[in-house]
Amino acid sequence: MIGYAIRRILYMIPILFGVTLLTFTLFNVFGGDPARRYAGKHATEEQVQVIRAELGLDRSLPAQYVYFVKQIATFDYGRSWASKQLISTMITDGIGATLSLTAPAFAASTIFCIFLALFSVYGRGTIFDRGIVVTCLGLMSISSLVYILALQYLLAFRGGLFPISGWDPSWAGRWEYLTLPWIIMFVLSLGPNILIFRTVIMDEAFQDYARTARAKGLAEKHIYAKHILKNAMIPIITVVVIEMPVLISGSVLIENFFGIPGLGGTMIKALNDSDFPVIKAFTVMSAVVYMLFNLLSDLLYSAVDPRVKLG
């Protein structure tokens, strides 16, 4: 497994090279003159030339690309055009807030959805199972914006149970502001995840090995817990790993509505400000995150099912 992980990491190098080349070309070649964008439309030509020299844009494109790759390798993306902050500092500051928001809600909802889907399939055809399906379809039919506004109004504004918005950077104080966003993220994930997991588990419940286990007289509870759930974990892992990059990118709507200074809000602000250095840094970082989580999914496949061979 270690050898496979090393090979996959080496395979990522040419992919990352392609991502950096495409990103650099889009922003530095086809995206117009970065110096003029940075200076603003009312800047004089002399001011643009000064800024071009300050940003290193007066060098040749190959030299600029080499410098861009060096920035990625050293995690030194320069400074934001809008805020003048170090981009690496913006990322490290934002990732703590984002993970505080997304990781607990993601873990709790994933575990809850797997077991509720398992119980739903175990009692398939019953009122409980049908109620779960109808409830999930209803949850999915409502916009995420409605959940945010409704729960914020009912639980925070009217009920006074939670702060409407705000943020405390200390680890001890931030949880007060995160409880309601956790609840919203948890509710938002229930509908799609339970239905997907239910479908996966239902497919496994009627496989030959399950029928054979029943013919041998094994208890239904034992079959579901020992065999069906284990074999259903590979497609479940696929779904979960696909969703995992959200742990890093954050939930943009929730961060904005609750004033949480995470990476999602930082990225939206960079897009609004045409802050090219920040956008380029996030683009490359997102590609790296997706590749790492893809590798994680393959390693988890092998850990869950020994029949999966890592080539």
Q: Residue 165: in which H helix or E strand, if any?
A: none
- Looking at domain 98-304, its CATH superfamily turns out to be MetI-like (1.10.3720.10)
Q: What is the dihedral of CA 96, 101, 103, 107, to 10 degrees?
A: 170
Tokens of residue 133, six digits: 């399906």
pTM as predicted: 0.80
The beta-carbon contacts of 306-309 under 8 Å, at least 24 apart in sequence, are 308/234
**What pLDDT does 37 receive?**
74
DSSP 8-state symbol, 225: I
Tokens of residue 233, six digits: 């974990």
Spatial distance between the Cα atoms of 218 and 222, rounded to a whole number of angstroms? 7
Going from the C-alpha of 210 to that of each of 117, 122, 193, the distances in angstroms are 17, 13, 23
Q: Provide the 3-class DSSP secondary structure of residue 242.
A: helix
Question: Please, are residues 241 and 100 in contact by the beta-carbon 8 Å criterion?
Answer: no
Q: Provide the 3-class DSSP secondary structure of residue 79.
A: strand
109 Cβ contact list (under 8 Å, min separation 6): 185, 186, 189, 190, 193
Helix residue ranges, H only, the chain: 2-28, 34-39, 45-54, 61-74, 87-122, 127-140, 144-151, 175-205, 208-215, 220-223, 229-243, 246-249, 252-258, 263-272, 276-304
Going from the C-alpha of 115 to that of each of 80, 119, 196, 229, 242, the distances in angstroms are 44, 6, 12, 9, 19
DSSP 8-state symbol, 226: I
Spatial distance between the Cα atoms of 159 and 153, rounded to a whole number of angstroms? 8
DSSP 8-state symbol, 224: I
Question: Please, are residues 213 and 230 in contact by the beta-carbon 8 Å criterion?
Answer: no
**What pLDDT does 307 receive?**
62
Question: Please, are residues 225 and 163 in contact by the beta-carbon 8 Å criterion?
Answer: no
DSSP bridge partners of 79: 86
| Per-residue pLDDT in tens (0 to 9) along the chain, 311 residues | 677 778 888 888 888 889 888 888 887 777 667 777 777 777 788 888 888 888 777 888 888 888 888 888 888 888 888 888 889 888 888 888 888 988 999 999 999 999 999 999 998 889 999 999 999 999 999 888 899 999 999 999 998 999 988 898 888 888 899 999 999 999 999 999 999 999 999 998 888 888 888 888 888 888 888 888 888 888 888 888 888 777 776 577 888 889 888 888 888 888 887 788 888 888 888 888 888 888 887 777 777 666 666 65
**What pLDDT does 305 receive?**
64
Region(s) of the chain under CATH 1.10.3720.10: 98-304
